[in-house]
Structure 1
Amino acid sequence: MVSYDMMILYLPLLFICSNTNLVSGIIPETRCVDHERIALLQFKKALVDDYALLNSWKDSTNARDCCRWRGVGCNNSTGQVIALHLSGTWSDQEDQKLGLSGEIDSSLLSLSSLTYLDLSGNNFTRIPEFIGSLKNLHHLNLSGVELTSPKIPDQLGNLSNLQTLDLLGTPVFIKDTHWLSSLSSLKYLDLSNIYLSYSVSLLNTAIKLPSLVELRLRNSFLPVNTANSFLDLLTNLSNSFSALDLHNNDLPSDTIYPWLFNFSRSLSVVNLSVNKLLGTIPDAFGTFRNLKTLDLGFNNGLKGGIPSSFRNLSHLHRLLLYRNDLDQDLPSLFSNLHVRSLQVLGLSWNRISGSLPDFTTFSALTELYLDNNRLNGSFPRKFQENSSLLILHLWSNRINGLLPDLSVFGSLSELYLDNNLLQGTLGGRLGSLSKLKSLDASFNFFSGTITEQHFVNLSRLVYLDLSHNSLTLNLKPDWSPPFQLGTISLSSCKLRSSFPTWLKTQKNLVVLDISNNGISGTVPNWFWESVIPRLQYLNLSSNEIYGTVPDLVSGEIPLIDLGSNSFSGSLPLFPANTAVLIVRDNMFSGPVSSLCHLTTTLSFLDLSNNKLSGKLPNCWNSYEQLFILNLENNEFTGEIPDSIGALRSVFMMSMRGNRLTGELPSFLRNCTDLGLLDLGENMLSGKIPEWIGESFWMLRVLSLSSNRFHGAIPASLCMLKKIQILDLSVNIISGTIPKCVNNLSGMSTGRTYATIGFDESGLDHSQRLIGYRTMFKETLQWKGRQSEYRNTLGLVVSLDLSSNRLTGEIPDQITSLLGLVAVNLSRNSLTGPIPEHVGLLRWLDFLDLSRNHLAGGIPLSLSQLSNLGVLDVSFNNLSGRIPKSTQLQSFDMSSYTGNPTLCGVPLLNECPGDGDGTRGGRQEDIEEVEDDGKWISNGFYVSIVIGFVFGFWGLCGSLLVSDSWRHGYFGFLKMVKDKTIVTVEISFARLYRRTPT
């Protein structure tokens, strides 16, 4: 039987691990002291207990023993209360914190033997001063307490017996507090997540505490100007000081290292992650003989690799170096670690290269994180030893080849291989991993067929992602899987043509992605009724599914993608909490008033390419978080509602290809975060508002094409500093092209590789699955046809003002837009010359100036555009000779026709002085060639063949022997080449002249 002394000794420790009374039922005859029971009831009376956490605290006949109440611990001998564990809890089911609130009543002073007090995670008005009178208190936990008054009372300094003080995350403001110096017994101090930037005196006091063993200052914003002096004083800490956590304090290497290495004999836990460490990892870390945990992650500045001195760390269990700039070869890195002690190794997000060594030699290793590096090569052909690994993350590398025999990893619970170059079969390698819970093999080149047999031993599997491989899943319709999955992602695999009925057995399903699986037919009713209510993410896109979709209001699915199918009927009601809704490329029809059922959580809405009709609803002010709005290619009518202006967070808005009318609502100017605005192919009218340039400072794409806008181009559009695509074509716009176009700096910085989007690094897995990376697209008139640009949109820099009523000259300032790839000014009434320096636009691929009234010659600089793929200057008043260049002569006559006084190749019009028939070539620049061109005959080709057969090796042999012969020969060849090109070009020109058009 356990003695009373032992029970009392371990009672505080046991109390930490349980929310229930820890001694109830052990000594039934021991009852709590009456006046302490009354004090507890008084304490409860001052609290607000909305969640009935203290429901067992009753003064009834059956509940008079307070030692049996929830969260109360008593001395087994005396019945006195020695511990209160009253922490709040978080309910995942209700998605909220369950805790107490109100006042902490002074009745606690009646608990004279109280040694342990945990009030963490609750909401109180203040920390009362009387807590400093609880003289026997050893442990005080106020972490995560929400306070109305942020003051910490000085009276806490009276707790001379206090050993543990935990204020983690308590919203208090600590500036000048001397009370800490009196806590002479303090061993554990946690001030993490408290703003300490002005707390110089507290820090200087904390480091002088004689008994301090563990100090945690995570996210504490240590004073920048005093960090050096504070850390210098850390050398005064006792020799028993063993744990230091300075995570996320922006401390540089030269501040941390000098004092840190004074504790090489005592420190066992060091966390310096998310600081500003630079350079290589010091060898001095190898002197920390008792070190068990070292975290240097997320510094971004650590380079090189792991020093060889780390072999001395025979007690090192956890080494975390995430998010740095380490570039060591992996095999040599592994050779610098102690193989018998290491349990967790985190090297994710570095630049580590090399092939995978046999990491089973690390006998204690349970977690290995090598994802997001530059690993290449293949797995070892064979692993030598059985492994204790539980977690193996290798995703986002360039590992290739086949998977080896994985039977040595019998304990593995997480295996992430996604985003590599692995190939071969997969199913046969899985059978031995009976403890596997998570498997991600997506985005590889695995092939072959997976059947039910491959899953027989995977009864613990809860996460499965095989998407984007060449796998065929040959699963019987009546198959009953041995597992209950929470996540299934099989995108771009090959399933049977009908909807997989085995999904009916998955009762814990939260994420389901069976997009692009070749599924045809309708979705069975059981799926809508029994599976949908549990899902948080659904992707059925890019299949051949048809039929109607019922109302889904019974579910709570934040992310839904039904796009690229053949669903029809009216748009159903979706769950009110939907955040991402994609139904593009279907046949939904009718009005969209059901959207007003959605709440403020909506952030991504894509209804494009359907048959939706009617007026747009006027409830957009409900969607303050909406980031993407795509309504293009439907049949919407009426005016754009004013409530659209409430979308202050919207980044992409497209309503192209509808029948919207009226002017642009002035409220739209409130959408100041817009990066893409496409209202093309509607019936909008009025003038282009001045406020577009004044409000949309982030705009990269603006398309108002194919509408009825009139008036002049407002000069304020030149304020669009980031614009890359500007399309005002096919309107009734008049006036001149503003000369301020040179202010469009987004087009002026040379060819841009920026993407029309945002950084994906912060996206969670579900957001990546839904396809955020391709959400930005634009339809452009390109090379005579409309083309849709998604992934390459950031490379397109385009200016299209075609099919309007513009007059005046093309401003020379347009040639300063050096990044332009496409310029279309056709079908206007522009006059004057083509800008002389148009050749500066070296990235230009498309130039259409046709059907204007341009005059003068074609600038010589135009011949310098080596990337030009489309040129049209037809139907103007251009004159003179077409400049001679390989590029300009490669276009056919239609590019130049309609300019009566324009001459030269490829036109049939001879220029003055071309009477010799050379058309376009000046007599002094080229040699005479006989008019019949008979020098290119059958004998010419025969001579070439004979000369090649008999002369090639003899000539090449001589050239290999003599340097002077070789240089002379190649110089001769260059001369012959140049002359031959001119001669052949003229001959072909004559051939064109003799051939009917």
Structure 2
Amino acid sequence: MPTPPPAPARLLHLAAPLLVVLALAAGVANAATPPSPADALLAWKSSLGDPPALSTWADAASLCTGWRGVACDAAGRVTSLRLRGLGLTGGLDALDAAALPGLTSLDLNGNNLAGPIPASLSRLRALAALDLGSNGLNGTIPPQLGDLSGLVDLRLYNNNLAGAIPHQLSKLPKIVHFDLGSNYLTNPDKFESMPTVSFLSLYLNYLNGSFPEFLLRSSNVTYLDLSQNFFSGPIPDSLPERLPNLRWLNLSANAFSGKIPASLVRLTRLQDLHIGGNNLTGGVPEFLGSMSQLRVLELGGNQLGGRLPPVLGRLKMLQRLDVKNAGLVSTLPPELGSLSNLDFVDLSGNHLSGSLPASFVGMRKMREFGVSFNNLTGEIPRALFTGWPELITFQVQSNSLTGKIPPALGKATKLRILYLFSNNLTGSIPTELGELANLNELDLSVNYLTGPIPSSFGNLKQLTRLALFFNGLTGEIPPEIGNMTALQILDVNTNLLEGELPSTISSLRNLLYLALFDNNLSGTIPQDLGKGLALTDVSFANNSFSGELPRSLCAGFALQNFTANQNKFSGTLPPCLRNCTDLYRVRLDQNNFTGDISEAFGVHPNLDYLDVSGNHLTGRLSSDWSKCNNLASLFIKANNISGNIDASFCRLSSLRSLDLSNNQLSGELPGCWWNLQALEIMDVSSNIFSGEFPASANDDLPLQLLHVGKNNFFGVFPPIIQKCMMLRTLDLGDNNFFGDIPSWIGTSVPLIRVLRLRSNNFTGIIPSELSQLSDLHLLDIANNNFIGSIPRSFGNLSSMKQPEKAFMESFQKLDIHLLALVQESRVSVFSRRTEPKNPNDEYRDRVNIFWKGSEQTFQRTIEFVTGIDLSSNSLSDGIPEEIAYLQGLRFLNLSRNNLSGSIPEGIGSLNLLESLDFSWNELSGVIPRSISKLSCLSMLNLSNNQLWGEIPTGSQLQTLVDPSIYGNNLGLCGPPLSVPCSDWNKFGMTEDRREVTWLCYSVILGFVFGSWLWFGALVFLESWRFLVFQFADCIGTN
């Protein structure tokens, strides 16, 4: 048996379990003892990262006397923790609520606390006020907060709390102030009445359904805010009986419907009524004029309609009136002028008409006045600006106000915002506006103002925004503008300003936006403009500026929108432009800039639009362009760019519009070309490209306009075209393509409007499937090797058959284009940044046509061009009669073929035809008289055929006096030829008799060479004898 341990060891062995029990007991005892308040707060401070704002939280001995935001009672217990707006970050999990049993107020409002609200806060049994508003707390509201039976004030607003509102909160027996607004909370479940609450706010959440029933049982509520939720249905009629103490009611921005209940008149204590932004109807009720205690009336953003009732003039206590965007149709009631306490009026966005009542001068406390976007007329009453000494905002834009700007405006010296834009104001800008020393924003744009910009504007040293665009202002920009040192936005576009830009403009150290486009400004730009600035938007476009751009223009590297197109600028571009990585829109086209394009631009990841067309830029397209990931529009036409296009160019996956035309680019297009899967517009015409057109594995390409003319491409008709279902313009002209036109062209590209294949080596017959292109307006396949006849099915080209429709569609598109230009002119640089597209930035499709004997480019008027050019081929047979069905044609060229037969009589039905060329064919017969009906005809060529007879006369034909247009025919007569037709007409010769006559002439000519044949014919052929006798009769008579 084992040896027993020594006695001490045996004792230790027996005591071990007892020691464990004692240790556990001690641990439990220690755990049940909470840390001191100081230790608990220091631990929480540590979890917040020891913020500097709590640097006084150090010595526990000074907890109640030196710690920021901590208050204690006489017994030294912490009763209040107020740490509002200290920028604290972190969470609440580490706050030990058990260590603060005497805490009655916890205020952490306006910090950056995140994470959930811990359920442990329910241990603060003495808590009467809990304010965690305006933080970043998330998660759900712990239902345990309902155990805080002493809670009087609960504020959890402006956080990221979500989920249903716990019904336990409705059982707080002493709650008075209850604010859960601006969260993501949903409808409470089993919520009970809250009889003690007086302030209740649930605004800006995800609450829905009808007006909450539990609220109608909370009869002590005086302040109720349910705004910006999804409540619907009618506003309860029972509100006055259920909530008789209401003083402040906000139901705005919901979906309440129906009429404004008349029962509201019984809410005799109601002072503020906000019910705007709903679906309320039925007009502005008259009974509102009886609620004399109202201070705020907000009804805007509904579908009320009707008039603005004059009885509102009885609300003598009214301070704020908001009925904007409510469909009101009436005049402004003069009775409102008696509201002497009114300081805010917003009636904008209605259909109010008439003038501004002079009685409004009685609104002596007016501070903010807005009646914009209505139909008001008449002049602005000058008395308003002497009678409203407190006025800070005056907005009457987008009406039809007339007359001059009242000089009395200069008396409203507290004015900060003055918007008079989009009216019909005339005259000059009063110099008195320079007395508005507190003015921040001044917008007088889109009027009919004339005269100079007042030099007194130099006194507006608080002005940040000045908009004078789209007027008729003249003169120079005054140098005093340099004194407006707070100016951030200066927009004077689309006026008649002239002269040079004053050098003082460089003194505007806060300038961000500068819009000078569409004026008559000239000279050079001050070379220090932009130095020390952070300019973001600059436009010099459509002026006559010259010289170099300032080297410091983009020195702040903040430039985003830069346009200097349509000027006379020269020299290289500013080097700093290369480093403006925020650039998104650049227009420098139509100038005389020089230098290497790849040195001028670098990597611009935000660049969306670039147009440098019409300059003298050189160099190659470097691989840096492929790093402009957002580039959607690239226009470099008409420069001297050379070299090949690198394969890296294919990485521009956002590219939609590309114009590289009229350069010296060469080589083949890279095989990856159709990786540009967003490409809609492609113009590489007039370069030296060669090789076959790239193929693509993609099934569907969004290409709409394709111009590759005037290059050295070769190969068969590009199969890639079959994958371009959206194609509207196809120009393969002036290349070396060969083979047939595929028959699928009529079905695979059904939207084609312009088809130009001229000057290639295409062969075969013209496919009749072309007639399936119902939108085709222009067909040019001249100068190829086509054979066969002109398809009769061309008479089915529907877009060429309907002149009225084609003409009206063209006018409508032109009107839309012109409207876009006008709207662009009316848009200031401020709002342009928010536009998805700028109308002037769009690629304008163009086409080169041999029109009236010379090659011309049609661009803005391309929609008017409808025609067919089949010239310089080997076509034969006759001109089909069906060609006369195409009454929308403006030009028709069938010259230099082998066409025979007569000119169709129906040609006279082509009423819009301006140019007709049938020259160099084998056409015979007479010229149909119907051709004289072509009232628009200004170019005609029928030369080098076998036509004969009298040339028709008519009003328009009389203007075509060049005899060469009828030259080298068989026997035409009449003006403008010198061959008279009087003898033929005298005997009323029919066409048959004229044939006899010409045959007789032939007989005479043949006499010299074949007398033996002549005599033989007389002897043996009776019919010939008859002809000879007939001829003799003619000669004898003559």
TM-score past 0.5 threshold: yes
Q: Is the 8 A contact 1:416 1:440 kept in 2?
A: yes
Q: Out of 328, 344, 352, which is 2:393 matched to?
A: 344
> Counterparts of 1:810 and 1:250 in 2: how far apart (Å)?
67
> Counterparts of 1:637 and 1:769 in 2: how far apart (Å)?
36
2:973 is matched with: 903
Change (3 A) 1:235 1:560: farther
Shift of 1:293: 4.2
> Counterparts of 1:109 and 1:474 in 2: how far apart (Å)?
74
Change (3 A) 1:104 1:78: closer
Change (3 A) 1:581 1:253: farther
2:90 is matched with: 55
Q: Is the 8 A contact 2:416 2:441 kept in 1?
A: yes
Answer yes or no: is 1:872 the counterpart of 2:941. Answer: yes
Answer yes or no: is 1:556 the counterpart of 2:603. Answer: no
SS at match of 1:200: strand
SS at match of 1:595: helix
> Counterparts of 2:452 and 2:126 in 1: how far apart (Å)?
68
Q: Is the 8 A contact 1:821 1:846 kept in 2?
A: yes
Answer yes or no: is 1:887 the counterpart of 2:956. Answer: yes
Structure 1 residue identity aligned to 2:609: L
Change (3 A) 1:911 1:471: same
Shift of 1:117: 2.0
1:82 is matched with: 130
> Counterparts of 1:706 and 1:155 in 2: how far apart (Å)?
83
1:412 is matched with: 463
> Counterparts of 2:223 and 2:797 in 1: how far apart (Å)?
68
> Counterparts of 2:929 and 2:77 in 1: how far apart (Å)?
104
Shift of 1:857: 4.9
> Counterparts of 1:30 and 1:745 in 2: how far apart (Å)?
95
SS at match of 1:501: coil
> Counterparts of 2:156 and 2:974 in 1: how far apart (Å)?
96
TM-score normalized with structure 2 length: 0.68
> Counterparts of 1:232 and 1:627 in 2: how far apart (Å)?
59
SS at match of 1:419: coil
2:416 is matched with: 366
- Match runs of 1:624-643 below 5 Å: 624=678, 628-634=681-687, 635=689, 637-642=691-696
> Counterparts of 2:447 and 2:768 in 1: how far apart (Å)?
50
Q: Is the 8 A contact 2:439 2:463 kept in 1?
A: yes
1:913 is matched with: 983
Change (3 A) 1:404 1:36: closer
2:270 is matched with: 240
Q: Is the 8 A contact 2:550 2:574 kept in 1?
A: no
> Counterparts of 1:614 and 1:849 in 2: how far apart (Å)?
39
SS at match of 2:797: helix
Larger Rg, first or second structure (1 or 2): 2
Q: Which moved more, 1:227-236 or 1:362-371?
A: 227-236
Q: Is the 8 A contact 1:306 1:336 kept in 2?
A: no
Q: Out of 151, 156, 167, which is 1:117 matched to?
A: 156
Structure 1 residue identity aligned to 2:393: V
Shift of 1:414: 1.1
Structure 1 residue identity aligned to 2:636: V
> Counterparts of 1:571 and 1:525 in 2: how far apart (Å)?
17
Change (3 A) 1:526 1:669: closer
Q: Is the 8 A contact 2:531 2:552 kept in 1?
A: yes
Answer yes or no: is 1:611 the counterpart of 2:664. Answer: yes
Change (3 A) 1:882 1:166: farther
- Match runs of 1:770-809 below 5 Å: 772=840, 775-781=843-849, 782-800=851-869, 802-803=871-872, 805=875, 809=879
Q: Is the 8 A contact 1:245 1:271 kept in 2?
A: no
Q: Which moved more, 1:532-541 or 1:173-182?
A: 173-182
1:735 is matched with: 791
> Counterparts of 1:660 and 1:103 in 2: how far apart (Å)?
70
Q: Is the 8 A contact 1:339 1:361 kept in 2?
A: no
- Match runs of 1:453-492 below 5 Å: 453-456=504-507, 458-472=508-522, 474=524, 481=531, 483-492=533-542
Q: Out of 112, 132, 143, which is 1:70 matched to?
A: 112
> Counterparts of 2:322 and 2:753 in 1: how far apart (Å)?
43
> Counterparts of 1:387 and 1:278 in 2: how far apart (Å)?
37
1:422 is matched with: 473
1:200 is matched with: 233
Change (3 A) 1:257 1:890: closer
2:650 is matched with: 596
2:178 is matched with: 138
Shift of 1:426: 0.8
CA RMSD in angstroms, aligned pairs only = 5.2
SS at match of 1:461: coil
> Counterparts of 1:832 and 1:537 in 2: how far apart (Å)?
59
Q: Which moved more, 1:446-455 or 1:796-805?
A: 796-805
What do the CA deviations read for 1:214-257 (whole angstroms, capped 9, x no partner)? 54645x6x58xxx5545777767767354546459697979625
1:543 is matched with: 592
Query: Unpaired runs of 5+ in structure 2?
Result: 1-52, 58-66, 82-86, 101-105, 285-302, 988-1038
Change (3 A) 1:313 1:605: farther
> Counterparts of 2:98 and 2:968 in 1: how far apart (Å)?
103
Q: Out of 581, 589, 604, which is 1:533 matched to?
A: 581
What do the CA deviations read for 1:949-991 (whole angstroms, capped 9, x no partner)? xxxxxxxxxxxxxxxxxxxxxxxxxxxxxxxxxxxxxxxxxxx
1:399 is matched with: 449
Shift of 1:906: 1.1
TM-score normalized with structure 1 length: 0.70
> Counterparts of 1:87 and 1:825 in 2: how far apart (Å)?
79
2:1017 is matched with: none
Shift of 1:880: 4.0
Q: Which moved more, 1:57-66 or 1:678-687?
A: 57-66
Change (3 A) 1:237 1:34: same
1:152 is matched with: 187
Q: Is the 8 A contact 2:438 2:460 kept in 1?
A: yes
> Counterparts of 1:662 and 1:35 in 2: how far apart (Å)?
91
Answer yes or no: is 1:582 the counterpart of 2:635. Answer: yes
Change (3 A) 1:389 1:213: same
Q: Which moved more, 1:584-593 or 1:750-759?
A: 750-759
> Counterparts of 1:284 and 1:800 in 2: how far apart (Å)?
73
SS at match of 2:132: strand
Structure 2 residue identity aligned to 1:256: L
Q: How many residue pairs are counted as aligned between the two chains?
A: 845
Q: Is the 8 A contact 1:519 1:545 kept in 2?
A: no
Shift of 1:416: 1.2
Shift of 1:851: 4.5
What do the CA deviations read for 1:846-871 (whole angstroms, capped 9, x no partner)? 33344556566545554354443323
Structure 2 residue identity aligned to 1:765: R
Q: Is the 8 A contact 1:403 1:422 kept in 2?
A: yes
Shift of 1:549: 0.9
> Counterparts of 1:549 and 1:483 in 2: how far apart (Å)?
26
Q: Out of 804, 815, 820, which is 1:748 matched to?
A: 804
1:433 is matched with: 484
Change (3 A) 1:465 1:331: same
Change (3 A) 1:53 1:811: farther
1:501 is matched with: 551
1:445 is matched with: 496
> Counterparts of 2:343 and 2:763 in 1: how far apart (Å)?
71
Change (3 A) 1:479 1:469: closer
Shift of 1:631: 3.7
Change (3 A) 1:317 1:477: closer
Q: Is the 8 A contact 1:873 1:896 kept in 2?
A: yes
Sequence identity of aligned pairs in percent?
Answer: 24
2:7 is matched with: none
Q: Is the 8 A contact 1:370 1:394 kept in 2?
A: yes
Shift of 1:118: 2.7
